[in-house]
Structure 1
């Protein structure tokens, strides 16, 4: 559990945690894998969200997942990219959060193992991404501003009996 002062400072920055969906590259589950390969390559992302027709996050897709389908025994083939859809290779088990229902502690724990977390609303509609980078920036803010807002006193160590 976060201490109250730390939590307050982090919450001052929590409004900037969300990168809105309008600024995020994504693919749809029905897109050809070739299209997804182009998006990931041009945007220089390693992984992006996959949405369904109702803008719900249904998976994640990485460049590694796509290139794995391109690798044959001793050659690289692009034919599978035209034959397969995003849904055929996407990761379907992943963490996602709803800001209103997810504590700061849970967000931080999930970001230890994930570079980003898709954020959804109560209906599961994609709202954007919470990134480890934004959390680190908030922590940086806390580290640099804590002493300006709080005075810290060390607790006395328990005396040995």
Structure 2
């Protein structure tokens, strides 16, 4: 079993949001970083889900009490998330990470207590697979 640690982008290098932050703050962070999705953590540092631009758009559209002028009054706890971005544990098999990467831009990684410790991006997985494929082809020559 290959360890996934070598693919991990550690928490200190990841933009994430606390689930008690305002919707306005989330919008600002997403715009500033040009991200379409950001992991959300709770007060204990545990991964609780991923916020997407679509989640925000549909909430503003479908919530008659919310508009762009009053998003400071709402927190991420008020936002319904349409898509479940599945996390994986630090000891997860690399094959599971590859499988999740097929449908997710990133895989949130948690420790044994469910605490968010970073992400593995789809790009990291693709780069790893391309490098591994290249090594196999070189060995065959």
TM-score when normalising by structure 1: 0.75
Judged with a 3 Å threshold, the aligned counterparts in structure 2 of structure 1 residues 98 and 38 are, in CA distance, closer, same or farther, namely same
**1:132 and 2:132 equivalent?**
no
Q: Distance in 2 between matches of 1:111 and 1:66?
A: 23
Structure showing greater Rg = 1
**Alignment check: 8 A CA contact 2:42 2:48 kept:** yes
Q: Distance in 2 between matches of 1:59 and 1:147?
A: 39
**Alignment check: 8 A CA contact 1:61 1:90 kept:** no
User: How many correspondences in the alignment?
Assistant: 137
Question: 1:107-126, aligned counterparts within 5 Å?
Answer: 107-126=97-116
Residue 77 of structure 1, CA deviation: 3.5
Deviations 1:90-118 (A, max 9, x none): 53843110121x11211111111111110
Q: Distance in 1 between matches of 2:9 and 2:117?
A: 8
1:44 corresponds to: 34
TM-score when normalising by structure 2: 0.85
**1:94 and 2:98 equivalent?**
no
**Alignment check: 8 A CA contact 1:66 1:89 kept:** yes
2:11 corresponds to: 21
Gaps of 5+ in 1: 1-6, 153-161
Residue 83 of structure 1, CA deviation: 2.3
Q: Distance in 2 between matches of 1:50 and 1:118?
A: 10
Gaps of 5+ in 2: none
Q: Distance in 2 between matches of 1:129 and 1:106?
A: 14
Residue 63 of structure 1, CA deviation: 1.9
Q: Which moved more, 1:20-29 or 1:81-90?
A: 81-90
**Alignment check: 8 A CA contact 1:30 1:86 kept:** yes
Q: 2:94 aligns with which of 104, 112, 118?
A: 104
Alignment RMSD, CA only?
Answer: 2.3
